[in-house]
Amino acid sequence: MKRMALVVAIAACHHGATPAGSGSGVVLHVKKVQLAWGLQPNAGNTTVYLQTTDETGAQVSHSIGDFPGACNVIDPGPMKALTSLMCGAGGAGTELDVVAQGETVIVLRLHVDAGVKPDPMSREELTRFDAPPGAAIEAKPL
């Protein structure tokens, strides 16, 4: 004779929220991390930071490094990044791309030559850091 098991999942209320049907709704606290570039010109170079802001407004600045020339935010679409930055002049220099893998934020570097289509597979990892567990990671729009 086969026996069937019935599994009942009971969701625990979080932070004192009351169950549905008791007159109050469950309040969800969504974690979010917003990314933005910080740029500081420095004698022909630019010092680059990646700034994170969470849903409470707390900010952390991650040092990325110094790069020759001026840096400008560019369209990240071609590299499928959250946000991208181009440092240099005349279409040549260093492109920085930020991608997320799960809860990890990764900054990649790509050498760019004027008139040559960059190969996304030649990007090198510069740094990485973790976002809070379950946080949505997004970049400020251009």
* Separation between Cα atoms, residue 89 and residue 15, nearest integer Å: 52
Asked if residues 131 and 26 have their Cβ atoms less than 8 Å apart, the reply is no
Over residues 40-60, mean pLDDT: 94
pLDDT for the residue 25: 59
Q: Look over the chain and give the mean of its residue pLDDT values, rounded to a whole number.
A: 81
Nearest CA to 105 among 125, 78, 76, 85? 125
Residue 3 has pLDDT above 50, yes or no: no
pLDDT tens profile 78-128: 778 999 999 998 889 999 999 999 999 999 999 999 989 888 889 999 999
DSSP-derived letter for residue 115 is T
* Separation between Cα atoms, residue 53 and residue 95, nearest integer Å: 23
pLDDT tens profile 25-49: 554 556 899 999 999 999 999 999 9
* Separation between Cα atoms, residue 55 and residue 34, nearest integer Å: 8
pLDDT for the residue 12: 33
pLDDT tens profile 8-29: 222 333 344 444 444 555 545 5
The residue with tokens 């979080």 is: 14
Over residues 67-88, mean pLDDT: 92
pLDDT for the residue 140: 79
DSSP-derived letter for residue 77 is G
Asked if residues 17 and 116 have their Cβ atoms less than 8 Å apart, the reply is no
φ, ψ of residue 107 to 5 degrees: the values are -105, 125
pLDDT for the residue 126: 96
The residue with tokens 């933005």 is: 36
